[in-house]
Structure 1
Amino acid sequence: MDVSAILAVLALVVAGFPLSFAILRSPFLALLLAPLMAALLSTVAVVLMLVVGGPLLLWIVLVLAAGAACAWWLLRRPGEPVPYGGWSHALLIALPLLPPSLMIFEPASRWDAHSIWWLHAGYFANGGEYARAAIGSPAFVFSHTDYPPLASAPVAAVWSVVEPDFRTAQLVSTLVTVSAVAILVYLVRRALSRVSARVAWALAIALGLATWSGVTYGVTGGLADALWSAAFVGAAVALLLGPDPLRRPLLPLLLLTVATLSKNEGLIAAVGLALLVTVRARADLRRAALVWLPVLIGGAWAVLARLLHAQSDITNGSSVDPGVPAVDRFDFTVAALWDVVGPLVVGAAVVALLGALFLRGHRQATGLAADGWVWAANGYYLAVLIGTYVSGPNDIEWWLETSVQRVTLPVTLLSAVSLAGWVAVAFGGDGRAESGQMLDQPREPALSGATPTTNG
């Protein structure tokens, strides 16, 4: 690993640590969240640069200063460490993710990484005027200039400080994505707080490792699919599985913001999740309205991209195939989806049905919400995915061949969340009865009369 790569890692951790620690109040979990937080701060800097102009480095400095001030303000407010924030918990999260992350040593040669995310990082790093011209240029339409900037922004930020090279870009992209996966693992563990520690950790880690399923290079190849999928599913776990989805809203809202600012699919999926959370928390609509903030942020980027004359591959496709009837496109799509996720979805649905018939009472005892919320999110995304393929302009066979394995990752993860919930119910017991054997104990105030905190 060269000096530039080491500096990139240190820069991401240092930039994101203060706010991460202020939110989580755990230095160990903050280290896991720091790269993702740095990506969010870099995205704010890129957006400000595009709106106002000027060099990216200037905006990076200003945003980091503002982030440090915000962290100082949060730390002055009453708060407490989130559950499972010890060093042993951080190791339990991070160590299992290291072996598949070693695929980072493969060559940084993925077409999408170079033609989309790192190309965007290149024009972001050249300043506001250059970036605006590139986004609006017809010559760059092939690079999906309307895509949100989060997957490219941290690379651009690092390239503003060190000599640009693709190995550094690959390392930055991987670190941000693994950070999202680590927080997904943490949130699954937190949702299973009443389950046997061994079972809960095994399920949480397995779900994190499932991020490498399908497209094994998705995490380390410089793409955004695993990043937004892990962030979205982490938010879904926090907002749909727990007994009080908005008890600690900041962390899931940050993850949902990451999803909306990482890829267009993330914004569409976030709309569905926001609708579900609004219905679930309809007794307190003022709190439920918080979940729409990430949707508004993602929508604001979509508006800004159009104002900068960015073009979408869906509305301006160059491979229009009007000769294929919609019914044939539907058949092709369903067949491709079945090949990739069909058996998993059906198997998870059968387990969910059996669980609903025989384990509903046990599920309530473990503190998990109804599994139907997860399946509603999964069904919504699947419906949107099918509708996009059927109505889109691209050659359907080429389109499915080049994308279906990547874009179905949220379906895989949400199906795995459903499976994990029922396995926890069936084999995890009631964690409250096993307190003497647990590896950890959550420290949360009682819900009645609890002082609101800033924790995630």
Structure 2
Amino acid sequence: MSCLSTAAESGRRAALAMLVSVLLCYGLATVGLTGWPVQVAFGAVVLSALLALPAVRDLRTAPLVLAVLVLVLIALGSPSDGWDPRSIWLFHAKRIYLEGTLYAQLDDYAPWSHNDYPALVPLLMACAAGLAGHWNELLPKAVAPLLLLPALLLIAPSFRWRWCGVLFAVLLLRLGRDMLINGYMDPLVAVYAVAAVATAMRHRMSGKHGGSRELVAFTLLVAVLSMLKNEGAVLAALLTAVVLGEGVLRERRLGWRILLAAVVALLPLLAWKLAVSQAGVGNDLAGSDMKAQLLARLGSEGGILPIVGRLLLDVWVLVPLLVLAVLWRPVLRVPAASAAVLAALAYAAVLFLVYLGTPHDLDWHLRTSVDRVRMPVTLLLGFAVLLALEHRAAAKMPRAR
């Protein structure tokens, strides 16, 4: 058991080192150091990932580490054919690589590429191309699955039973499918959301020393989550509110340290949004009359039902909800499970409102995006199901390991 504990701790340290290196890379780029200092910081990201290899000795962590390794190798095998990766993330990365600045997209060239989106991952993709000495779409695309690793390593300690790591890896692979290897950000947003909930709740349940480490992990995760894409910032705020609210209801106290950590973590995003605002770069949703669209669809027969049908009436949403309804007692007894369920439902409500107010054709918007943007909902629900099943099994077999 001590061997497994050591392996789990090495995985935790590797995850924190990766997150710190990612944010250091971004911080250097924000002040114009996009040459060798950023490349060195990106090299630290890769080396930190290699430090996670001993974590395969922990049976909770092994399937997650191996899944990331396989995904990275597959991602290196072919260029992406997805619209979002090629037209947003890889496109922004190529501009950063060629122009040598983090803020390349803020000239608002090709506005269809969502130039207001954060440039954290495009920067890392540009650094990956720099390792090869020329622009290509293979090394940069592999950055996306690689970034799954720190979040997965910080999710694993929430599981006590080894089969939970296997099931969570299978769930992620099934939900993410080709998005995991094509350079999409949505799987990253989902996994980082689960990791943020897991670390925040472990902070609340840990002692002073363990709680401080989990608080640092939560801060780093929220900082990266908010910089993945605009949806990540919304999720970061929702998750923080849910964790604080769940703590008030359960323990009758507000988690001031969690709140302060979230505020600090969102500072890089605030700086980016200020730069976006100063550059006059707009957003398709923010620049539209969402209120008028929302009211119009609420008043029409064809507005609400398609959204509910495509967003919520899906087997990967309904089945976890049914299982959680059956296991409602374990869910209530496991704070991380109840927080994950609340976060999933809150984010589903936000997505519902976004689709109601979208300026695009509703059928097209749902058809082209709902499977991607729903991933945080389904993965949070799956995480809650695993914790509830684990609690129920532990209650029946208290001495089993």
Which range, TM-score by smaller chain?
0.7 to 0.9
TM-fit CA distance, 1:234: 0.9
Q: How does 1:264-303 map to 2 (within 5 A)?
A: 264-281=230-247, 283=253, 285-288=255-258, 289-303=260-274
CA distance in structure 2 between the partners assigned to 1:326 and 1:222 by the alignment: 33
Per-residue CA shift, 1:198-236, capped at 9, x if unaligned? xx2211232133223344111110111111221111111
Deviation at 1:266, TM superposition (A): 0.5
Q: CA deviation at 1:313?
A: 2.4
Where does residue 309 of structure 1 map in the other structure?
Answer: 280
After TM superposition, the structure 1 = structure 2 runs for residues 332-347 of structure 1, keeping only pairs within 5 Å, are: 332-339=306-313, 342-347=314-319
Unaligned stretches of 5+ residues in structure 1: 1-23, 50-54, 72-81, 194-199, 439-456
Match of 2:183 in 1: 222
Q: Percent identity?
A: 20
Q: Aligned equivalents of 2:78 and 2:18: distance in 1? A: 21
Question: What's the TM-score once normalised by structure 1's chain length?
Answer: 0.71
Q: Does 1:354 align with 2:326?
A: yes
Any conservation in 2 of the 1:29–1:85 contact (CA below 8 Å)? Answer: no
Cα deviation digits, residues 88-113 of structure 1 (max 9, x gap): 02545322444555542344222211
Structure-2-length-normalised TM-score: 0.80
Which is further off, 345-354 or 34-43? 34-43
Which position in structure 2 is the counterpart of 1:403? 369
Q: Report how far residue 323 of structure 1 moved.
A: 12
Q: Distance in 2 between matches of 1:409 and 1:99?
A: 21
Q: Give the number of equivalent residue pairs.
A: 374
In structure 2, the partner of 1:126 is 98
Equivalent-residue separation in structure 1 for 2:104 and 2:80 (angstroms)? 27
1:385-443 Cα offsets, whole Å, 9 max, x none, are: 11111112111111111111111100110110111011102224589734xxx5xxxxx
Correspondence 1:145 to 2:128 = no
Provide the rounded CA distance (Å) in 2 between the counterparts of 1:323 and 1:64.
Answer: 43
Q: Any conservation in 1 of the 2:244–2:255 contact (CA below 8 Å)?
A: yes
Retained in 2: the 8 A contact 1:378–1:411? yes
Cα distance change on mapping 1:187 and 1:350 into 2, 3 Å: same
Tell me the residue number matched to 1:14.
none
Contact 2:68–2:146 (8 Å) recurs in 1: no
Q: Which runs of 5+ in 2 are unaligned?
A: 1-6
**Does the aligned pair in 2 maintain the 1:189–1:204 contact within 8 Å?**
yes
Partner of 1:46: 29
CA RMSD of aligned residues (A): 3.7
CA 1:214–1:170 in structure 2 vs 1: closer, same or farther (change >3 Å)? same
Q: Distance in 1 between matches of 2:62 and 2:192?
A: 20
Q: Which amino acid aligns with 1:88?
A: R
Indicate which of 350, 356, 359 corresponds to 1:393: 359
Residues 28-427 of structure 1: pairs in structure 2 closer than 5 A: 29-31=12-14, 36-49=19-32, 56-60=34-38, 88-89=57-58, 91-99=62-70, 103-104=74-75, 105-127=77-99, 132=103, 134-137=105-108, 139-161=109-131, 162-177=133-148, 179-180=149-150, 183-184=151-152, 186-193=153-160, 200-240=161-201, 244=205, 246-247=211-212, 248-281=214-247, 283=253, 285-288=255-258, 289-316=260-287, 325-327=296-298, 328-339=302-313, 342-357=314-329, 359=330, 364=333, 368-369=334-335, 371-427=337-393
As a proportion of its length, which structure holds more helix?
2
- Contact 2:307–2:352 under 8 Å retained in 1: yes
- The change in CA–CA distance for 1:92 and 1:370 in structure 2 (over 3 A counts) is closer
